[in-house]
Amino acid sequence: MKSIPEILRIVARTAATLVVTTWSVLAGQPPAATTSQVTNLTPINATLRGLVWPYGAETVAWFEWGSSTNYGNRIGMTNAGSAAWDGILIEATLSNLVASTKYHYRVAASNVWGKTYGANLVFTAPFFAEVGADLRVDQGSGGRRDVAGGTAAWGDYNLDGTLDVLLTGNYTSDGGYYGTIFRNEGNGTFASVLARSLLSGVSSAAWGDWNNDGNLDILAPALRGICINNGLGAMPFRNWQEKENRNNV
């Protein structure tokens, strides 16, 4: 639909006053487009955002992106409608980015009157992203407790392809000893899998498959031995053995 390129001015007179009311009526023109900052930025993903004003004519919008202002890629082709005055939010998510790499992008929009590009913006895919994992101990009604003074080690104890966390230390609230495994749920969260603490004292700890059965075991000096992983699933500690270190392990 083409718009009408003119300004209407309506004049009315009452007995006492002269009233002038002005309506601006859309002139046929290309859309407006403003590139916005990316959101949900991780080492491999980023959500591109932009605002598009169709100015009353059917408009399509998309993003152009790449490692330079030559862009070279398009994503998110979207029908932005034909709103007269409202800005339309356009989003598209990039994936398979390369960490620590700088990217350029801009939003683009086109209608029957022409094409418009938003400003070029840049972002850098970070090396690391905060996943918000909470590795404190859930004490139920007592809330979560912080741990300090120990160690943390990665290891895939349940062989599901995601690294789990072995965490030791002491509670900052009362100094009590702490040691447990957090299972990596694969969605940015971790679940504590031990019914009780591994430790009877503050200790360093490390994973290692001491008996070569394919299951990672735990070495922690405070255990006075090795905690053997029998590979029995989600609550392994109940079925693990604490192997005393008396020169016969």
Cα 185 to Cα 158: distance, rounded to the nearest angstrom = 11
Q: CB of 166: closest distance to Ca ion in angstroms?
A: 11
Nearer to Ca ion, 91 or 156 (CB): 156
d(CA 172, CA 149): 9
| Per-position DSSP letters for 81-148, written without gaps between them | E--SS--EEEEEEE-S--TT-EEEEEEEEEETTEEEEPPPEEEE--S--------SEE-GGG-EE-EE
Closer to Ca ion by CB, 146 or 160: give it. 160
Nearer to Ca ion, 86 or 213 (CB): 213
Q: In DSSP terms, which residues pair with 104 in a beta bridge?
A: 66, 122
| Least distance between Ca ion and beta carbon 246 (Å) | 19
Interacting residue ranges for Ca ion, rule: CB under 5 A: 156, 158, 160, 162, 164, 209, 211, 213, 215, 217
- Pick the closer one to Ca ion by CB: 94 or 219: 219
Choice between 138 and 213, CB closer to Ca ion:
213
Report, in Å, the least distance between residue 129 CB and Ca ion: 20
Instruction: Tell the smallest beta-carbon distance from residue 63 to Ca ion (Å).
Output: 36
Instruction: Output the smallest distance, CB 242 to Ca ion, in A.
Output: 14
For the beta carbon of residue 126, count every other beta carbon within 10 angstroms. Answer: 16
Cβ 244 vs Cβ 225: under 8 Å: yes
Between CA 34 and CA 182 the distance in angstroms is 44
